[in-house]
Amino acid sequence: MKLTKKQLQEIQDVEKKVASVCDNTDEIFDEISGQEQNITLRGFLALCFADVDIFLLQDESQENDNDKLYTKEEIRNQLESTMYKMTNLPFIDSSLYHIDLFGALGHQILRNSGFSEKYIKSLEKNK
């Protein structure tokens, strides 16, 4: 699926916000916790990718990309660090990470489309 210019701009805006707080995890939490009501799946993924981009691919000024090849251990360490940061955000209940994401989203889409709870539950029983 190709992203629209608006979607790309939204991702860039989130990346800039993460970049603006640089390497200080507490500042990242403070910066995005003010938006906790508005974090979408797209925004959450953008934060994850921006974290990798900032801490692995950009130079210290965060204005240029590093011209460096990384070992698989360095890449894995950065991915692990990013996953830890993003799954330990203080304003997100950790039990949310164990919910069937696409099932929950599908349920919400059906509700938003006007299907009754009774009909949606009948679909779940027929799985």
Q: So what's the pLDDT on residue 24?
A: 47
Chain centroid offset of residue 37 CA = 14
Shared domain for 19 and 43, answered yes or no, is yes
Shared domain for 70 and 22, answered yes or no, is yes
Shared domain for 63 and 14, answered yes or no, is yes
Q: So what's the pLDDT on residue 22?
A: 44
Distance CA 101, CA 36 (A): 18
Output the pTM of the full model: 0.54
Shared domain for 55 and 81, answered yes or no, is yes
Shared domain for 43 and 88, answered yes or no, is yes
Shared domain for 21 and 65, answered yes or no, is yes
Range of the domain at 54: 5-92
Shared domain for 55 and 109, answered yes or no, is no
Shared domain for 48 and 108, answered yes or no, is no
Angle at 20 between CA 17 and CA 58, to 5 degrees: 105
Shared domain for 124 and 105, answered yes or no, is yes
Contact 89, 33 (CB under 8 A): yes
Shared domain for 24 and 85, answered yes or no, is yes
Shared domain for 37 and 87, answered yes or no, is yes
Shared domain for 114 and 81, answered yes or no, is no
Per-residue pLDDT tens listing for the chain (127 residues): 566 777 667 777 666 665 554 444 445 555 555 555 567 788 888 888 888 888 888 777 777 777 888 888 988 999 999 888 888 888 778 888 888 888 888 888 888 999 898 888 888 776 6
Split into its structural domains, the chain has a count of: 2
Contact 14, 41 (CB under 8 A): no
